[in-house]
Amino acid sequence: MIIFWIFTLFVGASAFTFAFIALQLGLGASLVYAIVAMLLARGILSIVRRSLIVRERMAPEADVMERTVETNRAVFWKRAMFLALIPIGYLGISYVAFGLAPEDALAALPDFLALALTQLVYLLFLLGANFMLFFGPFYLYTRIGKTMINPDDANFGVNIEDVRGQKAAVGEMSRILRLIEHGRLFTKAGGKRERGVLMVGPPGTGKTMLAKAIASSLHVPIYIANGGSFAGMFLGIDALSVFLMVRAARKRAKVWGGCIVFIDEIDALGQRRNQGGAGGGMMGGMGGMFGGGMLGLNMLLVLMDGIDNPGWAIRQLRGLVNLTLDGLYIPRVIGANGSKLNLRIPALKAPNYNILFIGATNRPQVLDEALTRPGRFGRQIVFRLPDRESRKDIAALYFDKKTHDAALDTPSKRDEFARITEKYSPADIEQVLSLALLYAFEEGREAFSWKDIREAMGNVEAGLAIPVEYTEKDRIAIARHELGHAVASHFFKSDHAHVRLSIRRRASATGEIGGYHLSLPTEEQWGGSRFRSQLAADIRHDLGSIACERVFYGENSAGVFGDLQMATAMACRMVGTIGMGADALEPKMSVKAANIGEHLISVSEVTQGIHEQSTWVGAVLHNHHARRTVAQLLGSAYIDDWRLMYVNKEAIDQAAEALIQQGGELMGDEITGLLDSIGMRQPTASDPYPDDMPAVPDQRADLTALEGTA
């Protein structure tokens, strides 16, 4: 390095002498001439040195800072020499092509620049116009399904207090939002604001409703987008949409101090990338101009990590200033008497844009692992189906918003409504009450009643009632079938209460049903705490229909298809997955039950796998011992059901007649009152048992005898 400076000083002295003596320049001008010559010579040496280091002909500098400075100097002088070629080329072309001396070429420069700039502006205008004509529709396409809402602009008619039944989720989200608005002390204390929050839960549990409430009440802007709106036909549309979304959020965050980005159905954007790289299906794998790949997800991952980086312009300006100062060989630090002055722009502090990403999905299992890691959407808030008390709270909210019969305000009716709406989401409850009000208006009433709620719940649960009249024979057969379920539940499921008993024909998206019976626990119970007796009672409830049909007709109808399927699945679950064996019966009765149960096993779920044992039902039934145990469970349940239906045959017919007379549909306490009024009883030891199922004779013994005589 010292020899470089010695050579530079020699060049400077020579240049000063040449300028002062040969060119007859003054002292000051000669000094400037010498300094320029020294900088140029030193710059050329830096370029040569860097070239030798890159080619490994010379060892690099040991000090990292010195190496950085020398690299910057080489880069600066390369660019400076390239820029110097522009005026040299202009003067050379002017002389060769037009015979203009340098002074004449400089005199003509203003006119040339004016003409060139005019043509350049015209060219840029044409390029811009064509760009907008071609890419403008794509930009508009990226705006579909996305809305930026400033504070006080949103009015969805929803407050955070209206999100009922999710007290823990709403409380946690409120805590996070308070940090977005007033979390500076938290960050000063060393805390870190959440970057992303994922709201997970079944449809209709209040995820989107909470986002609307946030938009209505929060004092920072909110950007609302749908995950499906990022998809596009052309490759890169999804990435462009994500980029524009984050850029818009940054701009609003600078103005308002924060911004929230809510992406509903984020699984459409953040679906797991396949190992083969063809996440977008056939068209995504082809590449080309058609989209469908995972560019949007990749862009979101990158931007969520780099969202707090300084802006591009300020980073480029800092780099240019520091590069120029290094290239002019100005020291980085000067000082005296222990004090130092930094002559470079220091490293830029990362801005805190205070942006919170909120995603909502009911399919968290399909999200990419990189999206759900801490630092992105690592914080998950789970929305559950509301429990009974929460359903009462939700019902109170929607009852207050809709005109209804005053009789529905009694505590007993509200408790009954909360009980019979188990597994209903808040959206389901609102839909039921809205439908009930619609039915009331159709009949000329301004308030709905319990009758309207009953009809609305039937439509939500099982589909629209079909105005088709059964024949008398079919009506009685369906009533007996459904009463078989109801009677079995009444006796064997003592911890349950009836919800709905219907023989009305209904149509839903999955097909048509002739009727159905539903019962629910009187007290809510976690599914993992159900005991064997409760699961066995479920099997008896399922088989009540086939037992009732065989008591009345001596045979069963095809309507028991689904009942046998559910009973078989439950028995296989008890035997094959949770270690519950056969019923405790006498050996003779156990054999009888197993023989009957063999005819009740349904293999419909076995066919859902790619081969016979690819489902757990198929695996259990494929094992001979396990299959025999399943058959014993089914046969034992069938025997209990058959005996119950047999001793209450007349009572069931009375109930069927009453059910038909009352319109073919009952709810809640109406079912319990009907079954209690017909005088049913439990079977006793003296009551008969069902006959064995008809069996095909076993011919293997005869074949063995024939083989012995051959």
With pLDDT > 70 as the criterion, what percentage of the chain qualifies? 91
CATH number of the CATH domain containing 444: 1.10.8.60
pLDDT value of residue 124: 93
The dihedral sign for the CA sequence 527, 530, 535, 537: negative
Contact of 102 with 198, CB cutoff 8 Å: no
pLDDT value of residue 514: 79
- Same domain for 223 and 88: no
Last-in-domain residue among 462, 496, 513: 462
CATH number of the CATH domain containing 236: 3.40.50.300
- Same domain for 507 and 650: yes
Per-residue pLDDT tens digits for 459-487? 888 777 777 778 889 999 999 999 999 99
Is pLDDT at 281 greater than 50 in this prediction? Answer: no
Q: How many CB atoms lie within 10 A of CB 497?
A: 20
Closest alpha carbon to 110 in 95, 139, 90, 125: 90
- Same domain for 560 and 473: yes
**Does residue 325 sit within a domain?**
no
Is pLDDT at 349 greater than 50 in this prediction? Answer: yes
**Does residue 328 sit within a domain?**
no
- Same domain for 260 and 170: yes
* Structure letter (DSSP) for residue 193: -
Q: What is the mean pLDDT of residues 13-30?
A: 86
Per-residue pLDDT tens digits for 677-709? 999 999 999 999 998 888 777 666 555 555 555
How far apart (Å, rounded) are the C-alpha atoms in residues 42 and 7? 8
* Structure letter (DSSP) for residue 367: B
Contact of 399 with 408, CB cutoff 8 Å: yes
- Same domain for 497 and 448: no
- Same domain for 648 and 548: yes
- Same domain for 70 and 58: yes
Which residues span the domain enclosing 264?
144-274+287-308+352-382
How far apart (Å, rounded) are the C-alpha atoms in residues 17 and 40? 17
**Does residue 39 sit within a domain?**
yes
**Does residue 334 sit within a domain?**
no
pLDDT value of residue 544: 95
Is pLDDT at 237 greater than 80 in this prediction? Answer: yes
pLDDT value of residue 308: 62
User: b/e map of 38-77 (b: 16 or more CB within 10 Å)?
Assistant: bbbbbbebbbebbeebeeeeeebbeeeeeeebbbbbbbbb
475, two tokens: 């009506």
Taking 3-state DSSP, the helix, strand and coil percentages for the chain, each rounded to the nearest 5, stand at 60, 10, 30
Closest alpha carbon to 627 in 654, 600, 660: 600
Per-residue pLDDT tens digits for 183-197? 666 777 777 777 889
How far apart (Å, rounded) are the C-alpha atoms in residues 631 and 592? 10
- Same domain for 361 and 444: no
Do you know the residue count of the chain? 710
**Does residue 705 sit within a domain?**
no
Contact of 409 with 399, CB cutoff 8 Å: yes
How far apart (Å, rounded) are the C-alpha atoms in residues 314 and 303? 18
Q: What is the mean pLDDT of residues 101-118?
A: 88
pLDDT value of residue 277: 42
HEC readout, 560-581: HHHHHHHHHHHHHHHHHCCCCC
- Same domain for 426 and 356: no
CATH number of the CATH domain containing 585: 1.20.58.760
pLDDT value of residue 293: 53
Split into its structural domains, the chain has a count of 4
Is pLDDT at 280 greater than 60 in this prediction? Answer: no
**Does residue 706 sit within a domain?**
no
**Does residue 492 sit within a domain?**
yes
- Average pLDDT in the chain: 85
Is pLDDT at 303 greater than 80 in this prediction? Answer: yes
**Does residue 702 sit within a domain?**
no
- Same domain for 657 and 518: yes
Contact of 327 with 43, CB cutoff 8 Å: yes
- Same domain for 358 and 213: yes
What amino acid is encoded at 325 in this protein?
A: L
- Same domain for 604 and 588: yes
